[in-house]
Structure 1
Amino acid sequence: MSSEGFIFPSPQWAEAFCKALNENPEYREAAKDWVWDVVFVATNVPSTVVNAIAQLMSLSGITSNAGAMKFKLRNGTCQGSEFYIDASKADADYILEADYSLWKDLIQGKVDPVGAILSRKIRVKKGSFLTLVQFSSAAIKMTNTAMKVPTKFLA
């Protein structure tokens, strides 16, 4: 982690977020019945961010402008995270997709997660929309947790 925080999105940010979820009793309670893996896909990731992630992961020749983070969520805990520079390789019970700028606004507390899902700014690419709405309290606690992760936005 740099002095400013973890680059978003990155494997390090995903790991820190997973750890923060496990340390949040409010999230644990709100998500106690959640038993599905979730992938968050960021599209239209600026090239400065893609290049920094590629350097961080010792990769070259990255042409994708999307990235994905998978979280293994069970009964109010995060049992692990994975990062994909190629978002098409990520799969889970739920896949939620949004522009990088929307995820950034969400983490900075400028956007309501439930409103973003209901307005389709966060697109449900896979999974039950109705179940997501039923777990709206967990989504809010998850967003509150993300806001506490030391985050560095490069764009």
Structure 2
Amino acid sequence: MTIPFPSAEWAHALREAINASPAYRASAADWEAGPICFLVRMGEEKAYLWLDLHRGGCRAAELVAPAEGERAPFLIAAEYEDWKRILQGQLDPVRAIWMGKLKVRGDLSLLLRYMRAAQDLLACAARIPTRFRDES
């Protein structure tokens, strides 16, 4: 069974994958900088995926209202197609930032110090059996 991206069900699966990952637990063991919100732009529609990350774990993962998502200490935004390519391993997130395809609001220097944790988090996301909108 595949899980549609983005959806509340996908967010829940990501939380479970993060919390089951020894690699993420180790690489983000001292993360205390607060939640991260992923903004997925799909034409006029937007989805805000809130991740309450703390000390190597994920306390909550959910879709939130735009006002709440915009208040996150870290907001990482991209078009749906770019998120799809990132999740499928076809687009490196650091390269996407430098190409302007992935926009980061928040302390970029802090995020860059946690690049291993970011890679481990994306590895968790890649393990989710995902159904993308343009796939049947």
TM-superposed CA distance for 1:65, in Å, is 1.0
Identify the structure with the greater strand proportion.
2
Structure 1 unmatched ranges of 5 or more: 47-63
**Aligned-partner Cα distance in 2 for 1:116–1:134:** 17
SS of structure 2 residue aligned to 1:143: helix
- Equivalent of 2:80, from 100, 103, 106? 100
Alpha-carbon deviations, 1:77-115, whole Å to 9, x = none?
Answer: 00011203x534413111111101111011111111222
Cα distance change on mapping 1:138 and 1:118 into 2, 3 Å: farther
How many residue pairs get aligned? The number is 132
TM-score, with structure 2 as normaliser: 0.90
Amino acid at match of 1:23: A
Q: CA RMSD in A?
A: 1.4
Structure 2 unmatched ranges of 5 or more: none
Higher-Rg member (1/2): 1
SS of structure 2 residue aligned to 1:111: coil
SS of structure 1 residue aligned to 2:62: strand
Amino acid at match of 2:29: K
TM-score, with structure 1 as normaliser: 0.80
Confirm or deny that 1:144 pairs with 2:123: yes
Alpha-carbon deviations, 1:30-87, whole Å to 9, x = none?
Answer: 11111210000001x16xxxxxxxxxxxxxxxxx511110000000100011203x53
- Corresponding residue of 1:68: 48
Cα distance change on mapping 1:20 and 1:69 into 2, 3 Å: same
Alpha-carbon deviations, 1:11-33, whole Å to 9, x = none?
Answer: 11011001100000001111111
TM-superposed CA distance for 1:119, in Å, is 3.2
**Aligned-partner Cα distance in 2 for 1:120–1:21:** 27
